Amino acid sequence: MTATTDGTGAPPPRAAEAGTSTTVLRNPTAPPGPPKIQEAAVRAAARAAEHLLARQDEQGWWKGDLETNVTMDAEDLLLRRFLGVDDERTTAAAARWIRAQQRPDGTWATFHGGPGELSACIEAYVALRLAGDDPTEPHMAAAAAWIREHGGIAASRVFTRIWLALFGWWRWEDLPELPPEIMYLPKWFPLNIYDFGQWARQTIVPLTVVSALRPVRPGPFALDELHTDPGRPNPPRPLAPAASWDGLFQRLDKALHVYHRLPLAPLRRAALNTAARWIVERQENDGCWGGIQPPAVYSVIALHLLGYDLDHPVLREGLASLDRFAVWHTGADGEPVRMIEACQSPVWDTCLAVTALADAGLPADHPALVRAADWMLDEQITRPGDWTVRRPHLEPGGWAFEFHNDTYPDIDDTAEVVLALKRVHHPDPARVEAAVRRAARWAVGMRSRNGAWGAFDADNTSTLPNRLPFCDFGEVVDPPSADVTAHVVEMLAFLGKQHDPRARRGIEWLLAEQEDSGAWFGRWGVNYVYGTGSVVPALTAAGLPASHPAVRRAVAWLTSVQNPDGGWGEDLRSYRDPAWIGRGASTASQTAWALMALLAAGERESEAVQRGVLFLAETQGEDGAWDEPYFTGTGFPWDFSINYHLYRQVFPLTALGRYLHGEPSAAPRLEG
């Protein structure tokens, strides 16, 4: 398919003007490898750099499509139908995308090559019915049969049943309760809204409004074909023992249902108003909420139910922001196809692209890098957000993932932006250094008590939110992870702070988190290959010698899971099934992560590295890009997976660059 717009709603970006088609990377500076592999690596890196430069927007940023699964598309159509703003062209284009993602067995998966997923299948089926597909058509009948075989609507996740309840296809009484009065729980009290990760918090607050008001706008058809027993669609489930956490929360949910029928009216009204203010205060300048599609969808619904009409500026801008999540393509039949991104990743893509190009030998003062640095500098967030609840005295200075998300900068993007900026020779170095200092102070200040870093908040480690019956949609808290902590440690090493006690504490935490196999768990990328590919370069950049036992164990593990074709791959099923750890079809991005770790560990001359470099060179397309249908990004482990379309470009170029030019930093060796 040929893209006609990207997720910003703008035409495809034009190539950066200066040096895009004639750029020559610096000659390799690392000792030459075997002639065949060296030549292949030089050629592949040059082509990849040209391809990446041509994709830069004239403002300086990069952004690849962020592909998830059809629930985004289905819920977008359901929202438009609920609000009465659906139109034939949008519905038809979205339906074409949903149909195209259905597999031969009638199901939809949440990642390429994965198993059918019940909630995704139900939502896709309902969206296609709204688009006019007849339930007797073969593709619909196959989907309905599979859904029934796997428990029907009653076995789907809470979010799916909320969407169905909005149209009268499920009873609100049969959903877990989450009252808006949760807004009044003190910040120190268990299950207050700041015990949830930022993505869950932004979603749960508007959903408390929806849950309290329980609207129904009857759908135009029944869904009996999706129940195992239409006469008894939701048979009662046995209570867990009262002494268990599950039993405790089941009984709490029953009590909340009683309260819903007999609420304290003044308190309920006040809670709804408080939730509305909280939502409106967090709307970004572009009309969205947190730069993420799901919270934006539920915020629009909640405010609309509270009396905001569709012409109100808040809702008007909110609806307009949702259009920017749409990626339009032209299908093989010439008809428009519409995919919805869950969010957009320009800051992340841009800093990774800068690092890739710089490490591949693009001159540090190249206009493309300077433009990118200027754009990133303008995106730095200098106002407080929700993170101040846990760090009230910390000065802001981070970066967010998206175009507009000032409320929720994240530690991972901030560390990677700093690493990118330190690679650029900017004409105003004082401006860069001031931004870097602010960012480093903020990132370090967001450290959790255990010495490590989560993504968005400090000490967001409560285990209670995940136990709520309402929260069955994936990870809802944000504890420290090895990959984010590694990026902060690497940033500190680049800033010459590898001996700082906070860096040393982070290193100690990483060493303690290493698996017996030698790998590290990957929270935000798939999976142990990503975690290991993040940690090893950080440890060696911070001064651990390549001979350190942790580094040698990581090298041994990576070597043991290399595929016969020379690449590396790991299937998302490794999050649930240990048999999949380190196993999967080879991908360009995962091969690059493994190579980045091995190169950092001093394995440049090893057979594993030579085979990995050759795999990248031989699988590259003539246009300088790699094909990667597999999902190698992680939103929630197993529950929500991402195919970052730029990963297949930036990480292979980074790995090839480091093979040709050596590691980008060399900190003094640490003791022990």
pLDDT of residue 23: 57
pLDDT tens-digit map of 352-406: 999 999 999 999 999 999 999 999 999 999 999 999 999 999 999 999 999 999 9
pLDDT of residue 17: 38
- Integer CA distances (angstroms), 267 to 180, 206, 506, in order: 10, 17, 45
Phi, psi of 601 (to 5 degrees): -85, 10
Burial of 499 (C-beta count, 10 Å sphere; 0-12/13-18/19+): middle
pLDDT tens-digit map of 230-258: 888 888 778 888 888 888 888 888 999 99
Distance separating alpha carbons of residues 250 and 234, to the nearest angstrom: 16
Burial of 309 (C-beta count, 10 Å sphere; 0-12/13-18/19+): exposed
pLDDT of residue 665: 64
pLDDT of residue 467: 85
Q: Is the pLDDT of residue 11 over 90?
A: no
Phi, psi of 240 (to 5 degrees): -75, 160
C-beta separation of 385 from 443 below 8 A = no
**DSSP H or E segment with residue 644:** strand 640-644
| Residue type, position 338, single letter | R
Helices H / strands E in the chain, number of each: 22, 6
Q: Name beta bridge partners: 460.
A: 478
Nearby residues of 376 by Cβ (< 8 Å), 6 or more positions away: 60, 347, 350, 351, 354, 399, 417, 420, 421
Please compute the mean of the pLDDT values over residues 410-425 and round it to a whole number: 98
Mean pLDDT check: name the lowest of 73-77, 89-93, 233-237. Answer: 233-237
pLDDT tens-digit map of 289-314: 999 998 999 999 999 999 999 999 99
Strand ranges, E, within 40-122: 66-67
Q: What is the C-alpha R_g of the chain?
A: 25
* Mean per-residue pLDDT of the chain: 93
In the block, tokens 């590694």 appear at 486
Catalytic residue ranges: 412
Q: Is the pLDDT of residue 153 over 60?
A: yes
Structure tokens at 474: 């994936």
Distance separating alpha carbons of residues 199 and 298, to the nearest angstrom: 12
Distance separating alpha carbons of residues 331 and 213, to the nearest angstrom: 41
Q: Is the pLDDT of residue 483 over 60?
A: yes
Q: What is the DSSP string of 319-375?
A: HHHHHTTEEEEE-TTS-EEEEE-SB--HHHHHHHHHHHHHHTT--TT-HHHHHHHHH
Please compute the mean of the pLDDT values over residues 620-637 and round it to a whole number: 96
Domains of the chain and CATH, by start: 50-66+343-459+480-661 (1.50.10.20), 69-229+240-340 (1.50.10.20)
DSSP state of 472: -
Distance separating alpha carbons of residues 187 and 446, to the nearest angstrom: 17
Task: Compare 448 and 667 and report the one with higher pLDDT.
Answer: 448
Distance separating alpha carbons of residues 66 and 632, to the nearest angstrom: 11
Helices (H), 113-215: 118-130, 138-149, 158-166, 198-213
Which percentage of the chain shows pLDDT scores above 70? 95
pLDDT of residue 668: 41
Please compute the mean of the pLDDT values over residues 72-101 and round it to a whole number: 97
Q: Is the pLDDT of residue 16 over 80?
A: no
**DSSP H or E segment with residue 94:** helix 88-101
Helices (H), 620-663: 647-661
| Residue type, position 54, single letter | A
Please compute the mean of the pLDDT values over residues 145-163 and round it to a whole number: 96
pLDDT of residue 14: 36
